[in-house]
Amino acid sequence: MKARVPASSANLGPGFDVLAVALSLYVTVEIEPADSFSMRSTGCGAGTFDGEGHLAVRIARDMLGHSRFSLTIDSQIPVARGLGSSAAVAIAAAAAAMSNTPVDAGIEVDGHAENAVASAFGGLVAARVTPELTWRHLPLDERWRFVVAIPDQELSTDDARAALPATVPFADAVSNIGGVALLLAGLANCDAYVPRAMHDRLHQPYRSHLLPAATSLMATMVDAGAHDACWSGAGSTMLALSTETSSQAIAAALDSRMAELSLPGSVHILRADRDGIVLTPLAC
């Protein structure tokens, strides 16, 4: 079986550990019966973790109960960049191994639900585990585009989590609640978007020392015409919210700014993925 699963961007500014959107970068995992184990990888992370210790292999083996399979993985999702790569790979492997609940594999890997739910089911979602999984699709205007600046610099989720404080000021919590409400209204209808609805006071300020270029990249996005900008998940990717009209100009401005900062990386204009997991039987 072949499973294709999209990347995801979590938080979207104020929606910390709750909001995520599926994006049009994909990982594909194929699993076929074989006399003995083999693996081949292409794309992002190719060859780095190949072998029986690879996340996709471990999940497939757990699902199938043996290692008599051939696994192929091709990924467009950069690793450790805040685009939900681990959750997407886990879900794709579980789905290709014919799990009835592949989203569970993504949640187990991430430790929280929003990336996994967005990748599994597509679209804009709100999700939490309390302790059972609860999630909902949320309205998302078809006109939105997501311009992402992906530095070559990796940021581990563990490091990003370690940068967060144990408590936050009451005013900061209230600010984020208001931001989420306005953000969701604007994501549902881009004509109703309120500037700075993506402003966050719970995680981005505390992580800024991990990527000093973040503030400059987000300012470049807004100056070039983005409705708003934020960290994608825990970074290092920065995300601009835009429409078709402004997306090319934003991408060009980001290319120039990253060059000025001597910050290697890439820029992509993405759509929201609406499908989530796509399964395709392999030819016999």
Q: What is the pLDDT of residue 21?
A: 98
Report, as ranges of residue numbers, the positions in the chain whose pLDDT lies below 50: none
Looking at the chain, how many residues does it have? 284
What is the per-residue pLDDT for 168?
A: 95
Task: Read off the pLDDT of residues 109-142 as tens digits, 9 standing for 90 and up.
Answer: 988 899 999 999 999 999 999 889 999 999 999 9
Q: Kindly tell me the sign of the dihedral angle through the C-alpha atoms of 120, 123, 128, 132.
A: negative
Query: Any idea where the domains of the chain sit in the sequence?
Result: 2-139, 144-270
Q: What is the pLDDT of residue 47?
A: 78
CATH placement of domain 2-139: 3.30.230.10
Q: Among 249, 248, 243, which residue's Cα sits nearest to residue 272?
A: 243
277 to each of 5, 16, 38, how far by Cα in Å? 5, 24, 24
**Secondary structure, 3-state, 144-163:** EEEEEEEECCCCCHHHHHHC
2-139 and 144-270 share one fold: no
Structure tokens at 270: 């993405």
C-alpha R_g of the chain: 19
Longest pairwise C-alpha distance within the chain:
60
For 81, what's the count of Cα atoms within 13 Å in the CB-facing half-sphere? Answer: 24
Whole-prediction pTM value?
0.95
E-strand spans in 161-264?
228-231, 238-243
Q: From the centroid of its chain, how far is CA 230?
A: 13
> Which top CATH class is 144-270?
alpha beta
Interatomic CA distance for residues 211 and 232, integer angstroms: 12
Instruction: Determine if residue 73 is left, alpha or beta; phi over 0 gives left, psi from -120 to 50 gives alpha, anything else beta.
Output: beta
b/e per residue 74-97 (b: at least 16 CB within 10 A): bbbbbebbbbbbbbbbbbbbbbbb
pLDDT digits (tens, 9 = 90+) for 228-254: 999 999 999 999 999 999 999 999 999
Cα 195 to chain center, whole Å?
A: 23
Q: Left (φ > 0), alpha (ψ -120 to 50) or beta: where does 242 sit?
A: beta
Residues β-bridged to residue 215: none
Interatomic CA distance for residues 83 and 9, integer angstroms: 5
Q: Helix 102-110 to helix 114-121 angle, to the nearest 10 degrees?
A: 150
pLDDT recorded at residue 18:
97
